[in-house]
Amino acid sequence: METIIAKTTDQKVEAKIAPTTLTGSQAVLEACIAEGADTIFGYPGGAIMPIYDALYDYNDKLKHILVRHEQGGIHAGQGYARTSGKVGVVFATSGPGATNLVTGLADAMIDSTPLVCITGQVFAHLLGTDAFQETDIINITMPVTKWNYQITDATEIPGILAKAFYLARSGRPGPVLIDITKNAQIQSFNYEGYTPCNHIRSYRPKPVIRKNFIDEAVALINNAKKPLVIFGQGVILGKAESEFKKFIEKSGMPAAWTILGLSALPTDHPQNVGMLGMHGNYGPNVLTNECDVLIAVGMRFDDRVTGRLDKYAKQAKVIHLDIDPSEIDKNVKADVGVWGDCKETLPLLTLGIEQKDRSEWLKVFASYTQQEYDQCIKEEIYPATEEMTMGEVIRIVNETTLGNAVMVTDVGQHQMVTCRYAKFNESRSNVTSGGLGTMGFGLPAAIGAKFGAQDRTVIAVIGDGGIQMTIQELGTIMQTGVDVKIMILNNQFLGMVRQWQQLFNDKRYSFVDIQSPDYVMVAKAYGIEGAKISHRNDLVKGIQTMLAHKGSYLLEVMVGKENNVFPMVPQGCSVSEIRLK
Amino acid sequence: MDTNTEKQEYTITVYTENQVGLLNRIAIIFSRRKINVESLNTSPSEIDGIHRFTIVIHESRSVVIKLVRQIEKQVEVLKAYFNTNDEIVWQELALYKVLSEEITERAKVERLLREFGARAIAIRKDFIVFETTGHREETNKLMKALEPFGLVEFVRSARVAIIKESSGFHEKLKDFESREPSEEVIENEYLGKREAVFTM
The share of chain B scoring above pLDDT 70, in percent, equals 95
User: Tell me: the pLDDT tens digits for A444-459?
Assistant: 999 999 999 999 999 9
Note if A132 is an active site residue.
yes
pLDDT tens-digit series, residues A88-103:
999 999 999 999 999 9
ipTM: 0.91
Question: Which tens digit of pLDDT belongs to each residue from A518-541?
Answer: 999 999 999 999 999 999 999 999
Q: Which of A433, A537, A538, A533 is nearest to A487 (CA)?
A: A533
Domain A211-364 and domain A382-571 have a common topology: yes
**CA distances (Å), origin A206, targets A91, A167, A330, B170, B172:** 29, 12, 18, 23, 20
Q: How many domains does chain B have?
A: 2
Same domain flag for B129 and B175: no
Regarding predicted confidence, which is higher, A414 or A1?
A: A414
Note the Cα A322 to chain centre separation in Å.
18
Residue B194 lies in a domain: no
pLDDT of residue B171: 81
Please indicate, yes or no, if residue B189 is contained in any of the structural domains: no
How many degrees, rounded to 5, is the angle at CA A472 between CA A466 and CA A474?
A: 95
**Domain presence at residue B98:** yes
Residue % of chain A over a pLDDT of 70? 97
- The answer to the question of residue B198 being in a domain is no
List the catalytic residue out of A7, A132, A378, A544: A132
How sure is the predictor about A436, in pLDDT bands with cuts at 50, 70 and 90?
very high
Q: Are residues B83 and B17 in the same domain?
A: yes
Chain A residues whose CB is inside 8 A of the B180 CB are 201
- Looking at the predicted structure, is the pLDDT value of residue A570 above 50? yes
pLDDT at A79: 98
Percent of chain A with pLDDT over 90: 96
Q: Which of A201, A310, A323, A329 to mutate to test the interface with B (most CBs of B within 10 A)?
A: A201
pLDDT over 70 at A4, yes or no: no
Query: What mean pLDDT is predicted for residues A463-491?
Result: 98
The per-residue pLDDT for B174 is: 85
Q: Band of the pLDDT at B198, cuts 50, 70, 90?
A: low
Domain boundaries, chain A: 6-191, 211-364, 382-571
Domain membership flag for residue B192: no
pLDDT at B166: 73
Tell whether B168 and B127 lie within a shared domain.
Answer: no
B25 touching A (Cβ < 8 Å): yes
Output the pLDDT for position B149: 84
- Number of Cβ pairs < 8 A linking chain A and chain B: 71
Q: Is the pLDDT of residue B2 over 60?
A: yes
Are B147 and B108 in the same domain? yes
Please indicate if any CB of chain A lies within 8 Å of the CB of B69.
yes
- Same domain? For B140 and B81 the reply is no
| Shortest CA gap B85–chain A (Å) | 24
Average pLDDT in the A464-477 region?
98
Write down the pLDDT at residue B200: 52
Give the nearest partner residue to A127 out of B21, B32, B188, using CB atoms: B188
Residue B186 domain flag: no
The verdict on whether A133 is a catalytic residue reads: yes
- Among chain B residues, the shortest Cα distance to A167 is held by B75
Q: What is the pLDDT of residue B196?
A: 62
A16, A182, A206, A226: the active-site residue: A182
Taking CB atoms and an 8 Å cutoff, what residues of chain A touch B66? 326, 329-330
**Closest Cα in chain A, distance from residue B108 (Å):** 51
Catalytic residue status for A243: no
A109 is catalytic: no
What is the extent of the structural domain holding B48?
7-87+164-179
Q: For B42-64, write each residue's pLDDT tens digit.
A: 999 988 889 999 999 999 999 99
- CATH number, domain containing residue B104: 3.30.70.1150
- Considering the domain architecture, whether residues B174 and B82 belong to the same structural domain is answered as yes
Active site residue A439: no
CB contact under 8 A, B190 and A147: no
Residues B30 and B76 placed together within one structural domain of the fold: yes
Residues A201-241: tens digit of each pLDDT: 999 999 999 999 999 999 999 999 999 999 999 999 999 99
Average model confidence (pLDDT) across chain B: 90
Tell me which chain A residue has its CA closest to the CA of residue B192.
Answer: A125
CB contact under 8 A, A201 and B180: yes
Q: What does the DSSP 8-state code read for residue A579?
A: B
Q: Is B190's CB within 8 Å of A125's CB?
A: yes
Question: Does A5 score more than 60 pLDDT?
Answer: no
pLDDT recorded at residue A7: 39
Fold of A6-191: Rossmann fold (3.40.50)
* CB-CB contact of A463 with A410 (8 Å): yes
User: Cα separation of B4 and A555, whole Å?
Assistant: 55
CATH for A211-364 (3.40.50.10440, 3.40.50.1220, 3.30.420.40, 3.30.565.10): 3.40.50.1220
Fold of A382-571: Rossmann fold (3.40.50)
Q: What is the CA radius of gyration of chain B?
A: 21
Check residue B180 and give its pLDDT.
86
Dist. CA B200–CA B198, nearest whole Å: 7
Task: Closest CB to A152: pick one of B65, B77, B190.
Answer: B190
Q: A444 with A470: CB under 8 angstroms?
A: yes
State the nearest Cα–Cα gap between A221 and chain B, in angstroms: 27
pLDDT computed for residue A27 by the predictor: 98
* pTM of the shown model: 0.94
- Determine whether the interchain pair B21/A324 forms a contact, defined as Cβ–Cβ distance below 8 Å: no
Where are the alpha helices (H) located in A483-538, listed in sequence order? Answer: 495-504, 519-525
Amino acid at A32: C
**Exposure on the CB side of residue A157, measured as CA atoms within 13 A:** 33
Pair B122, B62 in one domain = no
Mean pLDDT over all residues of chain A?
Answer: 96
Query: Percent helix, strand and coil across chain B, each rounded to 5?
Result: 35, 35, 30
Q: CA distances (Å), A463 to each of A64, A545, B121, in order?
A: 28, 20, 71
